[in-house]
Amino acid sequence: MEYDFLKQFSKRMKSVGMYSTLIKNSWQKTTWRQYGFESMDEQVNIIYAVLLFIMEYSLKEQPCTIDDISVFVDDICNRDFKKTLSYEKSGELAEFIINVVLCDEGRAMYFDCFDFEKREYKKKNISYVSNEVVYIDGDIKRTSYKLTDNGYNLVLSTLEIENNLKLTIHEMIFKMHLERATYDQALDEVKNIFNMLRIQLQKIQEAMDRIRRNALNYSVEDYEKILDENMSTISDTKHKFMEYRKVVRNRVKELEEENINIKALSGEDMEKLHNLQDIERYLSRSIDEHQKILNKHFDLKELYSHELEQMSKMTLIKRFSLRNDLYDKIIEHPGSLININMFLNPLFRNDPQKIYNLNKCIQYQKPLREKNSDDEEEKLDFDAVDYEEQKERKLREKLKKYQSSMEYLVEKIEQSDGEVDLASMSSMTDEQKKVFIPNVEMFKEIMVEFIKAGSIDIEDLRKERRNIVAEESCGFQLNEMLLKIADEKKADRIKRVIVRRCDDGQTVCFRDVYNEFGDRRDIYCSNVVFKLEKEME
């Protein structure tokens, strides 16, 4: 089994190795105690302060000698870290940080990064600072230190990018790779974008859970921050993703048309085609996540307003202590029991008298279905277990209708040499129509899901099912249903289902179709073409 998410594992481990090697060089060094740095936290803080100092000089293209570093260490140790060190001790500490911790006494530093593609460890070189000989004042020979590429990456990675900029940065990188046709790297970036959208959705859900538990524990600053992140996420992002998906689809189409027989594609072109298809799938999933974030954004605002309103109403309720305001008062003055009814009366108030609400008479009155006019009392024996069983049975029957409709469609496609449109199916018999269109609502849901999907790769669905463990869905899911039909018709070797609208402007009509209430309706819809691709034997 191949795990695509482990392709860049060695690259990730290189980043982890920069932290790990630094901590290893510093940890359990007794030299730190000579300068008053006992804890690991203090050690890491001063190491990074020195790295930032060297970076500042490197960016200015100025020589950074050990004397410069010693002055800096002496300054921050005595002023900020409150370590009473002499200048000589500060110079020794600076040399220890540079030579032992950052340079490992001149030895080359390596970190073993496992490569899952080659199934072996690769040694990656780690270096933080480099040195060069410089001449100060024309003739004084000194050693100057500057950061390496690893050092820059280490320092810059510690400064967190604001959440509202992360998505924009990844989107810019994705667009750049898409323009350069480096689709493997574009696929990594679109995965990062999808993960960020999923994380943002989870953050909204967690915020809603915190508000439900206690709105007062969720500060206004946190609320404003997550709203800003939501707005930066949903602002024109959906439009951009749809444009990207359109570009990807056009490139897939160009690649397929350029090589009519997909088997004739070279290895490089085949990899590009697979990457483009994966990019399209992740873009579609990102658009879905975008819509979920938009819905949750408004749910969050409504929930927070409602909870705060309920909290404000609670403050208007006057509370009292039974012991202080009742028991102690009666013990002090037993004669006040004669007026106890004034205290207890509010507990036994009658329901308020009903009055006619004028607002109801101007509301839109929805027609109700005919009800039984019998006024006879009826006893109901409600059994929760029986109710759940009946509910599951109805759901199974409904899903069976969905499956029968899609099975009929797949059979019609196979009978029509792999391609059929709705216009050719409009003249079916009543029995066929009853199978293909169980009711108006089901037919509409199936068609909408097919058109949204566009292209459904059965092998990708199988791969996703193997890699992802998910609970069985309790409703209609097009991919699950189509995969189930493909598994049952394994001998037919179904590979892909492609759905597209016809550009001829033709309107298809299905007459005398029942809706979910049993009323007859006529369905008018655009003509849609269904194409079935099979694996070559």
pLDDT digits (tens, 9 = 90+) for 211-235: 888 887 788 888 888 888 777 777 6
CB within 8 Å of 92: residues ≥ 6 apart: 35
d(CA 70, CA 89): 9
What's the pLDDT score for residue 536? 63
State both tokens at 394. Answer: 């109805």
d(CA 73, CA 75): 5
State both tokens at 266. Answer: 């070279």
**Helical H runs in 143-266?**
149-157, 163-180, 183-213, 220-234, 237-258
Q: Which pTM was predicted?
A: 0.44
Q: Which residues of 466-495 are buried (b: 16+ CB within 10 A; e: fewer)?
A: eeeeeeeeeebebbbbbbebbeeeeeeebe
Which of 205, 156, 136 has its CA nearest to residue 52? 156
d(CA 126, CA 381): 74
Contact by Cβ (8 Å): 148, 129:
yes
State both tokens at 80. Answer: 């900020």
CA atoms within 13 A on the CB side of 214: 3
CA atoms within 13 A on the CB side of 439: 11
d(CA 153, CA 128): 9
Q: What is the DSSP string of 53-105?
A: HHHHHHHHT----HHHHHHHHHHHHHHTS-----HHHHHHHHHHIIIIIITGG
What's the pLDDT score for residue 376? 45
Can you give the pLDDT of all 537 residues of the chain as single tens digits?
Answer: 567 778 778 888 888 888 888 888 888 788 898 888 988 899 999 999 999 999 888 877 788 999 999 999 999 998 888 888 888 999 999 999 999 999 888 888 888 988 888 888 988 888 889 888 888 876 788 889 988 888 888 887 776 666 656 777 777 888 888 888 888 888 888 888 888 888 888 888 888 888 888 887 788 888 888 888 777 777 656 677 788 888 888 888 777 776 555 555 567 777 888 888 888 888 888 888 888 888 888 888 888 888 888 877 776 666 677 788 788 888 888 888 888 887 777 777 767 677 777 777 777 776 655 544 444 444 444 456 676 777 788 888 888 888 888 888 888 888 777 888 888 887 788 788 888 888 888 888 888 888 887 888 877 777 777 765 555 556 677 777 788 887 777 656 777 888 888 877 778 888 888 887 777 888 888 888 888 877 765
What's the pLDDT score for residue 104? 87
Backbone angles phi, psi at 340, to 5 degrees: -65, -25
**CB atoms < 10 A from the CB of 198, how many?**
15
What's the pLDDT score for residue 261? 52
Q: Which residues pair with 115 in a beta bridge?
A: 120
d(CA 29, CA 206): 42
**CB atoms < 10 A from the CB of 128, how many?**
26
